[in-house]
Structure 1
Amino acid sequence: MATDKLRAWWAHRQGLDGSLLGASAADVLERSGWMRSVGGSAPYLGLFARARLDRETVDADVARLAVHELPSARGCTYVLPAADFELGLTVGAGAPAGELAAAEKYLGVTQAEIEQLCVTVAELLEASAGPLDPAAIKNAAGAAVRNLGEAGRKRGTTTTLPLALGLLQARGDIRRVPANGRLDQQRYGYVRWTPSPRGELPDMDTAQTELARRYFSWAAPASLKHFRWFSGFTAANAKKAVAPLELVPLDGTDLLLPKELADEFAAFTVPSEPSYALLAGIDGIHLLHRELSRLLDDADAGRPVPGRAGEKLGGQADPPSHLIVDRGRLAGLWEFDTQTNKIVYQAFGEDDAALRKAVAETEEFVRDRLGDARSFSLDSPKSRASRVADLRNSGH
């Protein structure tokens, strides 16, 4: 199977070829997949690249619950469309349950104690006129929140409150509200979620198969290994989840795709013109599979990682900076320099007019709508300075 065809197809299914231009945020997420945020700019960059959505439009969709950031696959937070709220919460429910089990085992916490705290927190939020942040909840709950001492500090759970908040979120009883309405930060308040997106608890086998169905519509051709990475399922659960889907193997590979896409994929041809997109390093074009080498030409796999002596790009699990992709191929790296309000980038080929146009459009979006393009919540101009300098020395 020609690598360039696979890459271009992945980019097409991800809507990076203009096919999602003008779509809503919910439509983009349903077609291309849930988006990781981790307090960075990834959702904004991804939605801009695919549909040219501005930040204000996305924030309005978050405020009206057309899309929302929820704990879901692997217990990690993703931005999901409303149609997937219940599914995301269901498949992610194992993470807070596991945290509670660990706290019971190692920290002397009881299920009854946390359930009572859940009732207390829910009542506090029900009575509140607005969102309450964790500090305000802790103060209002008083003795219902217990400090877990040095043992808790070592395990990263200093009080019982996060355990209750995790369970309440997974059950769809409460939700996090961004403090300033934006996805690219990690300051939150909590509110009651009424009506809850959770109905009768679906059968977990059904939920896992529905997650597999969505995943392979976003990411196929993909392997079971890729799906296991995204879902966090065991090998047995992954096989069980995909069994009803009747996925078709791609000749000569371990990759699978849905039957309904097989003919379309066979007829697909690589576009002749470049189609550049500037994306976050955790965008779905990479993170749905988390196999960076599949996006790299052989020559580019041997490129040195900027600023990391002796390291090659093909040896990285994740990209060292934000991505420039062209028809699915990793065509460069970029960062935003807040000192100059410009994008600094390294192109892995010709720096043509199409690339310069894509850079200019993204630069304007980041400068005027976002103010910065952080990779994650703790990313800052200071922590990024060396990456910017390394890219400037190796590119533009």
Structure 2
Amino acid sequence: MTGSKVRKPVSLSHLNAWRMRRQFLDRPFGSKNLVELIKSIGWIYSPGCSTPYLSLWARMTPFRAEDLNRLVFDDHKLLQLETLRGCTMLVPRDQANIALRIRTRTFTELSKQARQQMPITDAEMEKLKGAILKSLHSGPKTSEQLHHVVPSNLVRDFGTELKRIGLTNSLSLAINLLKEEGKVLKQQSKRRLDTMDYSFVLTANILPEADPLNFRLEEACAQLADQYFRAEAPARVKDFAWWAGINVTDAIRGAGEIKPKLTPVSVEGTVDEFLISESEVDDFFAVEPQEFVINFIPYRDTYLKGQREIVNRFISSEHADKPFSRWKGKVINDPLATIILSGRVVGVWEWSEDDDDIDLLLFDSVPKAAERAIHKRASELANFIRSNLGEVRLQGVDYGPHQMTGIHDLKAFWGKGAQADSRV
């Protein structure tokens, strides 16, 4: 990393204006190439809900859901992979090895730690994994279908202690181990990214060139750093480490390999070092914040999930507890579907099935011109949903009654404290 000529610290509004521009939220992406768009803005979260469709709609005009479905399910130019911090994301095919190498191996580590308590030996687990792979040679199968074709004596339920740490039975563990080894992928059974019905398929049938375990971790971190800072800069190394789920040492090494080199810029109100490619510094300082730039983004959109701190950066501390879901009344650092005005979160939105329309809540009054622009954009989004999706699944896994995501239910908790990451 190198230094730059002395410049005044930039304001948060300047930083966010640049981020809106880099994320193509202030104007549409310049081509119809979805793969290139994702390379430009970063991998997109795909947690079994409408997020991929809505994230791309916010950045491309026109956009059709079927165009994305074709790239994922027919052409395999975009792959849905379990990767950073165990999250499922849409990844360009030529970056799949990075995604598979960098993914967390939670079940591999848990199975090692709990080996003595498991009612299945290592040799039996290898036989079970082999039976799964053999079965998948004939085509994709659900976990229920695999349960019927693998040797029944190898499918064993686990006890309470193992279930408490996420290990439920031998078949589920074997599938997860194969995924972490890069041998098996999961994919939606119904050719839609907003469903939770999954099948399992051999990686070799979808991605024969994949060889993640022979890919050096250092090289994977370096290539991932290049992708991250191209999409997210200016950003901090600790933002990259958090986003990627790697330690800060590996993050520093990865960032140090980027060419052209990263250089720091100063941001008002913090001594943290924000890094950007030295080739982009002049463009960054030249950007002019625009008035009333409006967009609607979905749950887990990369705009709010690419950098760790949201409060005081993208939303004022006054409204710090509003754009987040809750668990048993406590704030979860997982942004809801939000309304962005000139880089800041000013409200939340959801789809009303009863009204077949967008339902939105603004945190404060906004200028009339901005309010008109918000409702115009909401109307455009509603038209897209009706014509492309039919309905919207804004969250992925349903965690039951303790999880609160409905904006009108959450409103009752507003003002009762925030526990999300803050910029200090």
- Rounded to whole Å, the distance in 2 between the matches of 1:25 and 1:106 is 47
Task: Tell whether 2:224 aligns with 1:214.
Answer: no
Say if 1:209 and 1:244, in contact at 8 Å, map to a contact too.
yes
Amino acid in structure 2 at the alignment position of 1:95? T
| Change beyond 3 A, Cα 1:62–1:304 | closer
| Change beyond 3 A, Cα 1:72–1:305 | closer
Partner of 2:377: 358
Structure 2: gaps spanning 5 or more residues: 1-9, 325-329, 415-424
- Rounded to whole Å, the distance in 1 between the matches of 2:343 and 2:146 is 45
Render the CA deviation track for 1:166-189: whole Å, top value 9, x for unaligned: 232234422222021111122101
The TM-score normalised by the length of structure 1 is: 0.87
Render the CA deviation track for 1:98-117: whole Å, top value 9, x for unaligned: 23323425536554443332
| Change beyond 3 A, Cα 1:107–1:50 | same
Render the CA deviation track for 1:144-171: whole Å, top value 9, x for unaligned: 3332233332222211223322232234
**Matched position secondary structure for 1:185:** coil
The TM-score normalised by the length of structure 2 is: 0.81
Higher mean Cα deviation, 376-385 or 228-237? 376-385
- Rounded to whole Å, the distance in 1 between the matches of 2:165 and 2:402 is 29
**Matched position secondary structure for 1:127:** coil
Task: Tell whether 2:193 aligns with 1:183.
Answer: yes
Summarize the alignment of residues 235-250 of structure 1 with structure 2, pairs less than 5 Å apart. Answer: 235-245=248-258, 246-250=261-265
| Change beyond 3 A, Cα 1:390–1:135 | closer
- Rounded to whole Å, the distance in 2 between the matches of 1:381 and 1:180 is 27
Partner of 1:233: 246
Note the C-alpha offset of 1:50: 0.8
Summarize the alignment of residues 107-256 of structure 1 with structure 2, pairs less than 5 Å apart. Answer: 107=118, 110-128=121-139, 131-141=140-150, 142-193=152-203, 194=205, 195-199=207-211, 201-245=214-258, 246-251=261-266, 253-256=272-275
Partner of 1:345: 360
| Change beyond 3 A, Cα 1:8–1:55 | same
**Matched position secondary structure for 1:260:** coil
Render the CA deviation track for 1:230-263: whole Å, top value 9, x for unaligned: 1111222222222222421112542111222222
Amino acid in structure 2 at the alignment position of 1:34? W
| Change beyond 3 A, Cα 1:354–1:379 | farther
- Rounded to whole Å, the distance in 2 between the matches of 1:377 and 1:184 is 11
Note the C-alpha offset of 1:44: 1.1
Task: Tell whether 2:396 aligns with 1:376.
Answer: yes
Partner of 2:420: none
Task: Tell whether 2:295 aligns with 1:277.
Answer: yes
Render the CA deviation track for 1:4-23: whole Å, top value 9, x for unaligned: 11001111111212241543
Structure 1: gaps spanning 5 or more residues: 309-314
**Matched position secondary structure for 1:16:** coil
Partner of 1:104: 115
- Rounded to whole Å, the distance in 1 between the matches of 2:65 and 2:312 is 31
- Rounded to whole Å, the distance in 1 between the matches of 2:20 and 2:116 is 45
Amino acid in structure 2 at the alignment position of 1:168? L
Say if 2:348 and 2:407, in contact at 8 Å, map to a contact too.
no
Say if 1:174 and 1:190, in contact at 8 Å, map to a contact too.
yes
Partner of 2:85: 74
Amino acid in structure 2 at the alignment position of 1:68? L
- Rounded to whole Å, the distance in 1 between the matches of 2:360 and 2:113 is 44
Taking only aligned residues, the RMSD between alpha carbons, in angstroms, comes to: 3.0
Say if 1:118 and 1:164, in contact at 8 Å, map to a contact too.
yes
Task: Tell whether 2:331 aligns with 1:322.
Answer: no
Say if 1:220 and 1:256, in contact at 8 Å, map to a contact too.
yes
Task: Tell whether 2:39 aligns with 1:30.
Answer: yes
- Rounded to whole Å, the distance in 2 between the matches of 1:90 and 1:205 is 10
Amino acid in structure 1 at the alignment position of 2:211? G
Partner of 2:102: 91
